[in-house]
């Protein structure tokens, strides 16, 4: 009997501690397009996400919104991701809340729907997934989020460009520490295929896709395709061809 009480108390403490960690975040940022969507706000999933978050007590903003004063620290907010679990004749959605390092802070229960109409099915599945989010009884605590965690440094590796089909000489490079006061500083958020770089707004500025080389990414910025390359000076550069000329732009990024 005492053992059961001990286990119950331990479980209760873990739940309380977990809830407090959620309550320490000021708001949630919503992307306009999740990985499984073909277009922005397809099936109104971004809109429905915001409605559900507000219903659950969170402040919520779209990723392209200008945030109000007091939301300048990207690590004080959470970032929502909705994941589709492929299943036969059933629509399954899972809500994940991530911190500024892309680490999952909370994962919801699976929301299901057997509706055949996609728009109806996605809404029902998302609403069902949010039932467990609402059960957290979120309320902002006002406590600052600890941000002492430091992303792992980029290891020394051979870097090669992947721009077009032009061969570029390889070089060994190690990333320098970025200037955190640089107004152009971008932050890397992990995605399934690589990273997305966001500014302080936060707004997605560039998308990165992994290659066989750890210091080279296929990159997309403002509909321009190119590569993000770590060069021998320890800096990252976005290289692309514009009007048949190779253009190189320095990018200050914190991974």
Segment-wise mean pLDDT, segments of 10 residues, the chain, 255 residues: 42 38 90 91 94 96 82 84 90 93 90 94 96 94 69 34 34 69 87 87 88 85 87 89 84 89
Q: What is residue 83's predicted lDDT score, i.e. its pLDDT? A: 95
pLDDT at 41: 92
Contacts from 36-44 at CB under 8 Å and sequence distance 24+?
36/83, 36/84, 43/118, 43/119, 43/122, 43/123, 44/119, 44/123
pLDDT of 97 reads 94
When the candidates are 2.60.40, 1.10.10, 1.10.8, 3.30.160, the CATH number that belongs to 21-134 is 3.30.160
| CB contact set of 53 (below 8 Å; sequence gap of 6+) | 28, 30, 60, 80, 133
Which pair of tokens denotes residue 136? Answer: 């957290």
Res 152: pLDDT: 35
Whether 43 and 113 have beta carbons less than 8 Å apart is answered as no
Q: Which pLDDT score, from 0 to 100, does residue 75 have? A: 84
User: How far lies 16's CA from each of 23, 79, 167, in Å?
Assistant: 10, 21, 56
Helix (H, G, I), strand (E, B) or coil at 10: helix
By DSSP bridging, strand 204-210 and strand 216-221 are: antiparallel
Q: How many other CB atoms are there within 10 angstroms of residue 159's CB atom?
A: 21
pLDDT at 147: 61
pLDDT at 173: 57
* Domain boundary assignment for the chain: 21-134, 157-254
Length of the chain: 255
Give pLDDT, residue 79: 93
């Amino acid at each position: 009997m005492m053992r059961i009480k001990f286990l119950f108390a331990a479980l209760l403490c873990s739940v309380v501690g977990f809830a407090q960690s959620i309550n320490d975040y000021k708001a949630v940022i919503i992307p306009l397009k999740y990985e499984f969507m073909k277009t922005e706000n397809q099936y109104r999933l971004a809109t429905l996400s915001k409605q559900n978050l507000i219903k659950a007590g969170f402040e919520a903003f779209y990723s392209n919104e200008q945030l109000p004063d007091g939301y300048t620290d990207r690590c004080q907010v959470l970032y929502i991701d909705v994941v589709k679990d492929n299943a036969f004749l059933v629509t399954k959605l899972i809500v994940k809340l991530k911190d500024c390092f892309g680490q999952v802070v909370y994962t919801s229960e699976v929301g299901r729907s057997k509706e055949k109409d996609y728009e109806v099915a996605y809404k029902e599945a998302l609403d069902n997934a949010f039932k467990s989010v609402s059960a957290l009884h979120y309320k902002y605590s006002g406590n600052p989020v600890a941000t002492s965690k430091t992303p792992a440094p980029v290891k020394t590796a051979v870097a090669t460009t992947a721009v077009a089909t032009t061969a570029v000489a390889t070089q060994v490079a190690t990333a320098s520490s970025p200037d955190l006061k640089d107004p152009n500083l971008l932050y890397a958020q992990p995605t399934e295929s690589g990273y997305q770089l966001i500014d302080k707004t936060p707004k997605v500025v560039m998308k990165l896709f992994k290659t066989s080389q750890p210091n080279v990414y296929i990159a997309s910025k403002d509909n321009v395709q190119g590569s993000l390359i770590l060069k021998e000076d320890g800096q990252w550069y976005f290289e692309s061809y514009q009007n048949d000329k190779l253009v190189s732009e320095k990018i200050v990024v914190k991974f």
